[in-house]
Chain A
């Protein structure tokens, strides 16, 4: 071997030279997040959706909004279980894309990942768009269009820039804010239970088949999926979890209970405070869907007794804006990691997934998807965002469920630190009931979105077709199979090495 492949490291005796072959040590990942950190990060993201999901869902589901959220909550629970099993077994950033790669092939994995990307883009857009709507408590004009869209775009631009140049965020601060958010939501719910909750009004809000109509109800169910934006962050966090087989399922269970409880309470209180009523033209509505459509939680505060209102409004406005900023940032981080992961698996061209040499971030992807998110919020239509989210999320979640079922079938002996508990035995394999029901549910909702949501269907299908073409052209140009998985650039293994004289 030529000597230039060696490094000179030390002379033992005068004139002696010890040559030392350059080595590449393998790396070990140090995962440090426990249940509290995982819970608060996931809750910070999922729990932030209440600040916009309530108004947009109430516009269609009217008096049945709490029931619709519970139904969506069941689908959320089933999806969370599938994510818990998948991410505990495959703690990677790709989420449903990683599950699909293992259970099917690279093309299915790409479609799942590409759909997930759309969710991240909507999460970035909707969270940023909501920030000025909640800050309107201080300056009322902030709630008006186009100012709210412009400020939302400025926020996206700012966060994209600081993420592209790799500014470290204070993880501890995020955790504190998420806990504060949960406490505030619970206090609001408890205060509302005492001061606003009225079962008679809630029963009077429901007019079967009329308000909402059956079509509205189905539409409301499909749009209510926006309530659980951020579920995909669980898979992002799993790669950083200490003992993911134990900590991920525990934190997911905690998030599940917290989110469903908060949604149930807040929606019941909101509809007690802002009952469904008929307009002179015969249509039915609630203030939640009109005056408070973009800042529904502020609507609850506005109906509390005047004594609490000023301080609580300022507190809720400020906290909501902060939590939504964090959710925007989490969306940017999520899409950034997903792009990198897809690039590593030769699913996206380097043009998108390239990492900046100095900043060590996939800056092109961050900036490109920030532009997409900005375009989505430009019209200031929250319904459009909810439509597009439902399209992408239901597609990605359906792939997640199907992949978990397929993995049980193809690799029954695969190491699964967490296994979904309720199973049916079929031809010697345990198939998870919640994944089957969840997959059927999310597929049904996706079909409803495709059938009845114009913007969801139009933009969603355009997104999938554009992605598919990008994938096919890129793989063909590189001479790669569309279906085959090629080894990623990095294999991670435990390493330790001893040296002695």
Chain B
């Protein structure tokens, strides 16, 4: 890793693979004295206004961000945790990266299959296609996640 990294973004979804992504971000942050941003995106259905109150999703988001903070604590790392509401997580993460001047996005993904083949998921695919900065994918071990 030779490129300077001063701002790292870790999108979380409250899945086990989030932990590995946050850990990796912490290691990178320590090495490069970088700042870590952790975001959770609540996807609001199109049938509701963007500012709709979704208590269940809010609770899940709180848990996911708290968990990310706990993982960061283990590394004595400082993170900035944030909660976003958007229609789709992919565009929200890509735009957030631009606004915050992010150098590296670390995305934790499970091993998932669809119709018998590996499936990356729409959010990770969108971010890979559209985010301008570097992206690291941190895939979980095969067999640790249920197939979908």
In the complex, whether B47 has a CB less than 8 A from a CB of chain A is yes
In the bound assembly, the distance between CA atoms of A27 and B85 in angstroms comes to 7
Question: When each residue 160-173 of chain A gets 1 if its CB lies under 8 Å from chain B and 0 otherwise, what string results?
Answer: 00011010110100
Is B95 touching A30 in the complex (CB atoms < 8 A)? yes
A171 adjacent to B87 (CB under 8 Å): yes
Contact of A357 among B56, B72, B73 (CB under 8 A): B56
Contact for A28 among B46, B54, B66, B85, CB less than 8 A? B85
Assess whether A496 is interfacial by the CB under 8 Å rule. Answer: yes
Residues of chain A with a CB closer than 8 A to B95's CB: 30, 32, 242
| A29 & B48 in contact (Cβ 8 Å cutoff) | no
Pick the contact of B85: A29, A333, A362, A496 (CB < 8 A): A29
Interface string of A329-340 (1 = CB under 8 A from B): 000110011001
Contact A501 B76 (CB under 8 A): yes
A57, chain B: closest CB distance, angstroms:
31
Interface residues of A in 239-296 (CB under 8 A from B): 239-240, 242
Let me know if B42 is at the binding interface, CB within 8 A: yes
A306 to chain B, nearest CB (A): 43
Give the shortest distance, in Å, between A499 (CB) and chain B (any CB).
Answer: 5
Tell me which residues across on chain B come within 8 A of A23, comparing CB atoms. 62
Say how far A227's CB is from chain B's closest CB, in angstroms. Answer: 26
User: Interface 1/0s, chain B 5-40, versus A by CB < 8 A?
Assistant: 000000000000000000000000000000000000
18 sample A-B contacts, Cβ–Cβ < 8 Å, listed by A number = A9-B73, A24-B58, A25-B61, A28-B82, A30-B41, A30-B92, A32-B95, A92-B51, A163-B46, A239-B49, A336-B47, A337-B47, A340-B48, A355-B48, A359-B45, A492-B85, A496-B80, A499-B79
Residue B113 lies at the interface, judged by CB distance under 8 Å to chain A: no
**When the two chains form their complex, are residues B45 and A499 in contact, meaning their CB atoms are under 8 A apart?**
no
Asked, given contacts A9-B66, A10-B73, whether A29 binds B50 with beta carbons under 8 Å apart, the answer is yes
Q: A25-B81, A30-B41, A496-B80 are in contact. Are A361 and B58 (CB under 8 A)?
A: no
Nearest-Cβ distance from residue A98 to partner chain B, whole angstroms? 10
Interface residues of B (CB under 8 A from A): 41-42, 44-54, 56-58, 61-62, 65-66, 69-70, 72-73, 76-88, 91-92, 95-96
* Residues of the A chain whose Cβ atoms lie less than 8 Å from the Cβ of B54: 360
Q: Give the number of A-B contacts (CB < 8 Å).
A: 127
Since A492-B51, A497-B81, A498-B80 are in contact, a sample of 7 more A-B pairs with Cβ atoms closer than 8 Å, ordered by chain A residue number, is A20-B66, A24-B58, A25-B65, A29-B51, A30-B86, A32-B87, A340-B49
In the complex, the answer to whether A333 meets B46 with C-beta atoms within 8 Å is yes
Nearest chain A residue, comparing its CB with the CB of B96 = A30
Q: Are A360 and B45 in contact (CB under 8 A)?
A: yes
B82 adjacent to A495 (CB under 8 Å): yes
Beta-carbon nearest neighbor of B94 in chain A: A32
A464–B61 Cα distance when bound, in Å, is: 41
Taking the nearest CB of chain A, how far is it from the CB of B61, in angstroms? Answer: 7
In the complex, which residues of chain B have a beta carbon less than 8 angstroms from the beta carbon of A25?
61-62, 65, 81-83
**B51, A500: Cβ atoms under 8 Å?**
no
Q: Inside 8 A of A26's CB, which chain B residues have their CB? A: 83
* From B46, B52, B57, contact of A490 by CB (8 A): B52
Give A7 to B80 CA distance when docked, in angstroms: 20
A341 at interface by CB-CB < 8 Å: yes
Q: Smallest Cβ distance from B87 to chain A, in angstroms?
A: 7
Among A28, A163, A360, point to the contact of B84 (Cβ < 8 A).
A28
Contact in complex: A31, B50 (CB < 8 Å): yes
**Distance (whole angstroms) from the CB of B128 to the closest CB of chain A:** 16
Pair B45/A341 contact, Cβ less than 8 Å = no
Interchain CA distance A239-B87 in the complex, whole Å = 11
Residues of A close to B44: CB separation below 8 A: 360
- Asked if A93 lies at the interface with its beta carbon under 8 angstroms from chain B, I say yes
Least distance between A25 CB and chain B CB atoms (Å): 5
Within 8 Å CB of A169, what residues of B?
46
A29 contacts which of B45, B62, B86 (Cβ < 8 Å)?
Answer: B86
A23 to B57, CA, bound (A): 15
Asked whether A93 and B49 contact (CB < 8 A) given A30-B85, A496-B80, the answer is yes
User: Which residues in A have their C-beta under 8 angstroms from that of B65?
Assistant: 25
A169 to B46, CA, bound (A): 8
Question: Is residue A489 contacting chain B, with contact meaning CB distance below 8 A?
Answer: yes
Taking each of B41, B44, B49, B72, which has the highest tally of chain A beta carbons within 10 Å of its own beta carbon?
A: B49
Does A366 reach chain B (CB closer than 8 Å)? yes
Determine which of B42, B49, B82 lies in contact with A337 in the assembled complex, contact meaning CB atoms within 8 Å: B49
- Bound together, the chains give a CA A422 to CA B104 distance in angstroms of 47
Collect the chain B residues with CB atoms within 8 Å of residue A168's CB: 45-46
Q: Is the CB of A171 within 8 A of B88?
A: yes
Q: A25-B65, A163-B47, A499-B79 are in contact. Are A240 and B85 (CB under 8 A)?
A: no
Contacts of A93 in B (CB 8 A): 49-50
Instruction: Specify which of B62, B73, B77 is in contact with A24 (CB 8 Å cutoff).
Output: B62
- Which residues of chain A in 9-28 are interfacial with respect to chain B, using CB atoms and an 8 Å cutoff? 9-10, 20, 22-28
Q: Are A490 and B53 in contact (CB under 8 A)?
A: yes
Q: How far is the CA of A21 from the CA of B108 in the complex (A)?
A: 28
Residues of chain A within 8 A of B72, CB atoms compared = 499
The distance from the CB of B55 to the nearest CB of chain A, in whole angstroms, is 9
Distance (whole angstroms) from the CB of A115 to the closest CB of chain B: 19
Q: Which residue of A lies closest to B35 (CB)?
A: A498
Does B51 lie within 8 Å of A32, measured CB to CB?
no
Q: Shortest Cβ distance from B41 into chain A, in angstroms?
A: 7
Distance A30 CA – B84 CA, assembled complex (angstroms): 6
Measured CA separation A20–B92 after assembly (Å): 29
Asked if residues B48 and A362 are in contact (CB atoms below 8 Å), the reply is yes
Give A66 to B76 CA distance when docked, in angstroms.
Answer: 71
Task: Tell me the nearest residue of chain B to A92, going by C-beta.
Answer: B49
In the complex, chain A residues whose CB is within 8 Å of the CB of B57: 360
A363's nearest neighbour on chain B, judged by CB, is B47
Q: Please state if A166 and B84 are interface contacts (CB–CB under 8 Å).
A: no
Complex alpha-carbon distance, A194 and B28, angstroms: 65
Query: How far is A336 from B48 in the complex, measured between Cα atoms in Å?
Result: 7
Separation in Å of the B53 CB from the closest CB of chain A?
Answer: 4
